[in-house]
Structures are given as C-alpha cells and as structure tokens.
Chain A
Amino acid sequence: QSALTQPASVSGSPGQSITISCTGTSGDVGGYNYVSWYQQHPGKAPKLMIYDVTNRPSGVSNRFSGSKSGNTASLTISGLQAEDEADYYCSSYTSSSTQVFGTGTKVTVL
C-alpha cells in the first residue's frame, strides 16, 4: 500500500486560509468516506483533527474543515494562527481493510 500524496510544505500569513491536499486512489481515498487528518507538533504525538472526511472531534477549532472530491481529500485551515504551525497527515481506510497515512505536510505560518 503506497502512502497517500501530500505537498511537502504549505505556508500562509496569519489570518489567511490554506488548503492541504491528500491524493490517493479509488482503493482508498476515492472509495470510502473514511479520511482523517492529524496534526503533529514537534516532539508530540499526533492529534486527530478531522475524521470521516468532514467531521471535527469535540474540542477542535472550527477553523479546521475537511472535504473530498474524487481521489483527493483536502484540509482547510482558515484564520491561520501561529499555533497551527505543525506537520499534518491525512489517512484513509483502504480496500485491503488496512489504513494508510499520507506523506505529511509541514505548515509554516509566515
């Protein structure tokens, strides 16, 4: 199972919106509405930010939103804040009944 493809880095200024893409295949992202997004700050464990493509766990800011079109899922962070600077990973359930993570995206707040 190959990793899902994410851009290596995305940057934006405070207050702006940014979008991170996550491209897979019809055997994972495109075939199921089971895409999740995780935020990871340096030296910390990942934190679930979005699940089932669009859902936010309790306590996650509504500045984070998810969507999907075809084989590509996206995470949008609106009103970018300094604390959003972190690595972000998508994941998807697959047709092999496994899960697969994306390659990861480093978000920089300028």
Chain B
Amino acid sequence: QVQLVESGGGLVKPGGSLRLSCAASGFTFSDYYMTWVRQAPGKGLVWLSYINIDGRTIYYADSLKGRFTISRDNAKNSLYLQVNTLRAEDTGLYYCARGGEGPAAPFDYWGQGTLVTVSS
C-alpha cells in the first residue's frame, strides 16, 4: 500500500533552518510528481511546492521568496524540503503528498505530516 512518512520537523529559532524528508513506499516513486503542503495550527492548507519526476521541473508558491528548496532522490524513494531563514509564520504541519503525471494532477496520497515550530 502507498505510504508517505515525513520526518525532520522540530523546534527551531527564527532564522534557523531544517531539512524535512518524506520516505515513500508502495508505489514507483520515480513515476510521480510530488508536492509539499503546509497547515498552520488551526488554519487551512497552503500549497508550497512541487517537483517533477526527474527533479528538473520545480515550482514554488510566491510567498516562499526563495527560502525553501524542494528536491528528490529517486534511488532512495525520498522527497525533501530544505527550509531556511525560518519565521514564526512558517510554524505548522508540513505534509508531503503524491501528485500524478503532471503539475495539475490531484494529490491522491498524503503523509501524516511533520511539525515545525519556529519560536525563540
């Protein structure tokens, strides 16, 4: 069965950095676009970024302003999100989700999320 397991979250001070990971199993990882979505406590879903199957096509939400970098390692069936210059408003649950064969595909499987808390 398809499984997505995020890790790497934690408590970090403003201005700090984290590398979030998403381990995929149960499907051919290299066949799918992958995406990251954030949900602040008690708030809605915010799409952050997606990456195509070979990692050469990447898009980010405008609000990230170059602070986040998505990447993937198909040999390790893993998705990553490097998050830099963290701000309090970056606090939230970070989900990875499976896309499809293109950037417009829906997100049909989601992990349980990894929590990032930005606080001094």
Whether a CB of chain A sits under 8 angstroms from the CB of B46 is: yes
Q: Do A99 and B112 touch (CB < 8 A)?
A: no
- Report the count of interface residues on A (CB-CB < 8 A): 27
Q: Do A45 and B113 touch (CB < 8 A)?
A: yes
Q: Which of A52, A96, A99 has the most CB of B within 10 A?
A: A99
Whether a CB of chain B sits under 8 angstroms from the CB of A30 is: no
> Given the complex of chains A and B, what is the CA–CA distance between A45 and B39 in angstroms?
10
Q: Do A52 and B106 touch (CB < 8 A)?
A: yes
| Stretch with Cβ within 8 A of B (4 or more), from A9-17, A19-27, A32-40, A76-84 | A32-40
Whether a CB of chain A sits under 8 angstroms from the CB of B47 is: yes
Whether a CB of chain A sits under 8 angstroms from the CB of B29 is: no
Contacts of A97 in B (CB 8 A): 59, 103
Residues on B lying within 8 angstroms of A by beta carbon are 35, 37, 44-47, 50, 59-62, 95, 97, 103-104, 106-108, 110-113
